[in-house]
């Protein structure tokens, strides 16, 4: 971990040492500014699964950075339900509501510093009945939801090696502070996409009642975007690696090294409204809880693909007045209903200056 943290500042310093205008010809100052290779960006949401909240999770972003002495402030709301059940093994039944406050400030022409502070509520919630109806309407598997009490909080079970885990942390409070320096590597052009390098550090500042991981988690992400010719479409991609300080939280055995990849698309319907969608895939978070296929005698309807974490986020981003950005969307798992939050709604309001 110490080696990783030592390398990251050096990488940023090397990028900053390059001339800010190295990728622009001198004559460009007299020409009209080219249209940026990004739009308003994908919906920014990390994995809200109840077993993922104790550590750092990366998320997809546009490569855009705040301008010099400019910035962005906002709040982001996420309301999700997690549910997984296996006979004589585990029950993961919880609802999470998050309200993220964040601020981003541009320090140099291509450098930005961001801070994210989540406030969370965890409990039984009220979404179970709605989700059962949603699954019935669209013919989706309900993972035996009708066999379990509605709207309760219960997160406990037995791992494959026989060890017992229990996350008894309902309630509310601040989670861990996330620090996010990033640098714009390339603004993009007719041939190459725009690219930004982001470092995220999770600092253990949250309430211990939530059984959060100690130590500092670190993540390194590459965000890309490219306009598709003259079409009102922008493609996005993200690749990320995350190192976790601890591999055991609340009795669970977790993966220490994880990777994430995301692909997205933005359709600029009008100058003030965009439709956005992106999907992402992360390597497994929990090491010993799940098994493919399930062990003999365990009644488990497993739709997994190697226990990978997978989601799709879809919604709209609007800018009713210059600088004011409003997001509305939903979040749904796509491969494994046991390793992800089952369903979520997203909303955010931000102001860019």
Instruction: Please list the rounded mean pLDDT of every run of 10 residues in the chain (353 residues).
Output: 40 38 44 83 96 95 95 97 81 91 94 97 70 52 56 80 80 94 96 97 86 92 97 98 92 92 98 98 84 49 67 98 97 85 94 96
- What's the pLDDT score for residue 91? 82
In a domain, 327, yes or no: yes
Query: What pLDDT does residue 29 have?
Result: 46
Q: What is the pTM of this model?
A: 0.83
| Residue tagged 């009102």 (tokens) | 232
| Domain CATH for 266 | 2.40.160.40
267 inside domain? yes
Is 21 contained in some domain?
no
pLDDT at 184: 98
> Does some domain include residue 176?
yes
pLDDT at 28: 40
- CA-to-CA distance for 57 and 254, rounded, in angstroms? 13
Q: Give the count of domains, the chain.
A: 1
pLDDT score of 137: 52
Please spell the DSSP secondary structure of 22-80, one letter per residue.
TTS-GGGGGSPPPPPS--S---------TTTTTS-------S--PPTT-EEEEEEEEEE
Any domain includes 318 = yes
Rounded Cα distance between 107 and 68, Å, is 5
Domain that holds residue 41: 2-9+35-352
Whether residue 26 is contained in a domain is answered as: no
In a domain, residue 261? The reply is yes
**Using an 8 Å Cβ cutoff, are 233 and 267 in contact?**
yes
Residue 14 lies in a domain: no
* CA–CA separation, 212 and 215 (whole Å): 10
pLDDT of residue 155: 86
Confidence (pLDDT) at 295? 47
Rg (CA), the chain: 21
C-alpha 252/C-alpha 247 separation (Å) is 8
């Amino acid at each position: 971990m110490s080696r990783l943290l030592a390398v990251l500042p050096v990488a940023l310093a090397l990028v900053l040492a390059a001339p800010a205008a190295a990728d622009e010809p001198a004559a460009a100052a007299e020409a009209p500014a080219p249209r940026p290779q990004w739009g308003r960006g994908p919906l920014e949401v990390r994995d809200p699964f109840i077993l993922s909240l104790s550590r750092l999770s990366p998320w997809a972003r546009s490569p855009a950075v705040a301008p010099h002495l400019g910035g962005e402030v906002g709040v982001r709301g996420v309301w999700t339900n997690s549910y997984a059940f296996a006979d004589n093994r585990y029950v993961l039944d919880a609802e999470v509501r998050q309200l993220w406050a964040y601020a981003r400030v541009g320090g140099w022409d291509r450098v930005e510093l961001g801070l994210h502070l989540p406030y969370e509520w965890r409990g039984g919630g009220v979404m179970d009945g709605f989700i059962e109806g949603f699954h019935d309407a669209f013919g989706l598997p309900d993972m035996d939801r009708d066999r379990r009490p509605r709207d309760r909080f219960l997160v406990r079970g037995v791992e494959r090696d026989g060890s017992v885990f229990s996350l008894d942390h309902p309630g509310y409070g601040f989670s861990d502070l996330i620090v996010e320096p990033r640098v714009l590597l390339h603004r993009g052009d007719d041939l190459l996409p725009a690219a930004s390098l982001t470092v995220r550090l999770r600092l253990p500042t949250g309430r211990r009642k939530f059984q959060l991981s100690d130590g500092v988690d670190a993540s390194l992400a590459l965000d890309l975007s490219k306009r598709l010719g003259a079409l009102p479409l922008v493609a996005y991609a993200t690749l990320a690696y995350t190192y976790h300080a601890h591999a055991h939280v609340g009795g669970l055995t977790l993966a220490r090294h994880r990777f994430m990849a995301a692909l997205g698309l933005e359709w600029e319907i009008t100058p003030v409204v965009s439709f956005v969608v992106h999907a992402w895939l992360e390597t497994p978070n929990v090491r010993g809880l799940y098994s493919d296929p399930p062990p003999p005698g365990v009644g488990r309807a497993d739709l997994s693909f190697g226990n990978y974490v997978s989601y799709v986020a879809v919604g709209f981003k609007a800018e009713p007045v210059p600088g004011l950005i409003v997001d509305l969307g939903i979040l749904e798992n796509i491969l494994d209903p046991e390793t992800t939050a089952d369903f979520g709604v997203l909303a955010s309001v931000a102001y860019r200056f």
